[in-house]
């Protein structure tokens, strides 16, 4: 089994194991099969709803992870909460968010402390750009646009 990180159009990332990339995509619900299941069940759908839910065919980026370390904390309600990723895992996952990663690299700890409000605005802008970076044009029926996209660095 291999481990994959799949960044989907709505900005979320799915961590999933599979024998190969295609199995990981199918297991994560990003193939046409998921859309066909919705149709069979009579569920209404449109591209915006698919993107919002993170299910069905949409644009994505996928990387194979050779390392994963996550710390979970048991909370008082008996649920596990994500505490942190180790540095290597964080660096690997940041590859799926190049605009945000580039913006964070521009700031030193000293400059963040001196210009906190400006830093927060720049990060919010980068997050907003990341959430729409993989968005497709208005015509969601153009199947040539669905699926993987090339990694791009910088602001769109």
pLDDT per residue of the chain (156 residues) written in tens, 0 to 9 = 999 999 988 888 999 999 999 899 888 887 666 666 666 777 666 666 666 665 666 788 999 999 999 999 999 999 999 999 999 999 999 999 999 999 999 999 999 999 999 999 999 999 999 988 887 554 444 444 455 554 433 222
Distance CA 50, CA 43 (A): 11
Distance CA 93, CA 87 (A): 10
Can you state the percent helix, strand and coil of the chain, rounding each to 5?
A: 40, 20, 40
88, 98, 101, 126 from 38: Cα distances, Å: 37, 32, 35, 33
């Amino acid at each position: 089994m291999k481990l994959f990180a799949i960044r989907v159009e709505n900005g979320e990332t799915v961590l999933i194991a599979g024998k190969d990339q295609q199995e990981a995509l199918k297991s994560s619900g990003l193939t046409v099969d998921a859309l066909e299941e919705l149709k069979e069940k009579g569920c209404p759908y449109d591209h915006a709803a698919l993107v919002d839910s993170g299910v069905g065919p949409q644009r994505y980026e996928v990387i194979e992870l050779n390392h994963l370390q996550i710390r979970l904390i048991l909370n008082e309600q008996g649920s596990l909460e994500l505490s942190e990723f180790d540095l290597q895992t964080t660096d690997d996952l940041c590859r799926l968010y190049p605009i945000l990663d580039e913006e964070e690299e521009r700031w030193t700890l000293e400059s963040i402390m001196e210009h906190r409000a400006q830093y927060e605005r720049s990060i919010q802008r980068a997050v907003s750009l990341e959430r729409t970076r993989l968005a497709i044009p208005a015509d969601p029926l153009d199947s040539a646009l669905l699926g993987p996209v090339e990694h791009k660095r910088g602001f769109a």
